[in-house]
Each structure stands twice: as structure tokens, then as C-alpha cells.
Amino acid sequence: MSAAHTTTHLRRWVRSLPPIEWVIYQVRSILISTLALGPVPAHIAFVMDGNRRYARQRALETVEGHNLGFEALARVLEICYKSGVKVVTIYAFSIENFKRGRAEVDGLMDMAKTKLVQMAEHGALLDRYGARINICGDLSLVRSDVLEQIERAVNMTKHNNKKTLNVCFPYTSREEISHSIRETVKQWTIPVPKTVDKRDALREALIERRIREQHNPLLAETVEESSDSDASCGAENEDSIVQSSATSRTSAPSPTPLEDGGNGERKLCLPDPEKISSSDLDRNVYTADAPPLDLLIRTSGVYRLSDFMLWQCHEHTDIRFLDVLWPQFGLMALLPVLLEWQWKRR
């Protein structure tokens, strides 16, 4: 057993001593309560990087590094939820991770099967804070046995409505944006009933009447004789024309939202694709129900986003890169970041 491994176990043993554990708990509670007094990010995202490096540095198995990373996640979630954060998004598994060794991929999948269900059980972390699990990613890439347990965890927390844990698994921003575009295109190719604009209806009714007058001189004379009375009740006539015109086009039921093309053709009434905006894509990303991203944190000292939350990052998102490995990440590393975020907004 290496010296680093021995030191790690010794530290964990000391922290587990009842007096030390009580002191640590009290200090943590005071610090978290202090955080809750100020403005708190509504939405924080984490790139949980450094599990493998932590394991290598301590001569541990890679899967053990990921297990320690899960323990760090539990600590961080409790800090966030207790301080008032509403939504936490974690980068649990990238689609690119499928390129890793088979043993590591299978280990991560098996961990997802067990850990998510453990967190969702009655009395566990998510249940205590009323947090629901939302899976963000292409689940068609996941094994059926893993998918079954993931769905179980989601169903166990679906009644929770106080907090949210977005688990990006398996995920990349490029896939998410592609998914959003596909869903938006589907929605904008569904035929819809043509809406009747009051001004358009009036214009069409007047044009229609003039055409009839040109083909029926007798009708034109009648219209001229009644022009005075028409002027006195012009507003009423306009409303009646609009109403009758609108009624004539909308009252007839149709099994499909079609409109007459003019030459006996029937055309689909589709939304104008020129009106598609970023808001439409916002409604179709995996985190559509989440508030704007306030803070994105990446551990391990690597300065890149790794295809994570690229669409959600905006001009007010604080992005922080911390030189600490994820299994070591906790209150002492998160506290300065949150305090700085609060200070900027006061």
C-alpha cells in the first residue's frame, strides 16, 4: 500500500471520530447558513473532472476514483441544496467517454445503475431536499439494464418539486443542440389552423364586395344609394363584415388544418420558418425547465468546457476553473467561489 493511500485512509479515519465529526458538521452548518443569507445562484453546473487522475496519483483502481467522485458529488449536492440552489447540473458521462476502455465504461454504467437509485431512495439525499432527477442525454446509447434503473430513479423522484438534479448522461452540447433543432423542425412542420387577423378579414371582405359590384351593376347602384346609411354605422358594418368573414372561414370544421389554394388546390397552413428564434430552441434543450445558468465550475485545473452546456452559457454566466481534483472538491473549495459570486451581485 502506497504512502499516499495510507495517508488518505488515515485522514478519513480521523474525520470519522465522533468529536471531530461533530465539530466538522457544526462548522459546515454555520458556513452554509451564512451563504444562504446572501444571493444564491439558482443554477450551478459542474464538470466533475479529475477522478482518474486522483486514482492514479494514489495507486488506486480507476473505478475507485469514480466511487470517491460520487462521494464528492453527494457532499456538493448537500451544500448546494442546503444553501438555496434550485438546480444543479452535472456532467456525469460524455458521449466521447464511450471511446474509453470497455472495463471503465462498464464500471461507470454499473455505477450509474446503483448510485442514482441510492440517491433517490426514501430518506436519501434527493428525498430529503425534495429534488427530482432529470436525465439529459441520448439514452438510446445506454444499455437496457442501465436504462431500466435510470428510469426507476427518475420515477422515484418525479413527485419532488423543490430542487432539480440534471444528470447529463450520455451527453455533449453538440448532440443537445442537434436534438433541439430536430424537435423544433418537427414542431414547425406540423400544420396549424390559419389565424384570422381582424384587419386582414376586413380587407378581404371589402375586396370581395368590390368584385361583386363590378360584375353586378345593379348591386353597385344599391350600394351607392345606401352609402349615407353605411357611413353613419360604419363601425358596426366593419365589425359585422369582419365577423361574417371570419365566421365563414373558421366555422366549417375540417379534419386537417388545410386552406384553399385558390385553384381548387388544398394547401397546408404551416408556421413561417423565418420566425424561428433562439427561444424556440431554448424550449427544446434538455434543460428547458431550468433557470438560466448562473455558475459553471470545472475541477482538475483543465481550462476547457469539453462540449458541456455550450448553449446554456450566456453573458451573465460565471465560468470558474479550479485547480482541485473532483474527489477532493468540497465546501472549502466551493465556498470562495460562491462568496465571490455573491460579492459581484451586491
Q: What is the pLDDT of residues 332-344, one digit of tens each?
A: 999 999 999 999 9
Q: Tens digits of per-residue pLDDT, 244-253? A: 444 433 333 3
Strands 163-168 and 87-91: parallel
Cα gap 62→97, rounded to integer Å: 14
Give yes or no for a contact between 339 and 119, defined as CB atoms under 8 angstroms apart.
no
Q: Residue 215 — pLDDT band, cuts 50, 70, 90? A: low
Q: Tens digits of per-residue pLDDT, 80-126? A: 999 999 999 999 999 999 999 999 999 999 999 999 999 999 999 99
Which segments within the chain are labelled E, that is strand? 43-47, 87-91, 131-136, 163-168, 258-260, 266-268, 295-298, 318-321
Tracing cell 460579492 back to the chain, one arrives at 343
3-class secondary-structure state, position 126: helix
Q: Which domains does the chain have, with CATH numbers?
A: 42-190+277-345 (3.40.1180.10)
User: For residues 270-285, b (16+ Cβ closer than 10 Å) or e, as one string?
Assistant: eeeeeeeeeebbeebb
Q: Tens digits of per-residue pLDDT, 235-269? A: 444 444 444 444 433 333 334 444 554 554 455 67
More confidently predicted of 284 and 213:
284
- Rounded percentage of the chain residues whose pLDDT exceeds 90: 62
Is pTM, for the whole model, over 0.85? no
Q: Tens digits of per-residue pLDDT, 171-192? A: 999 999 999 999 999 988 887 6
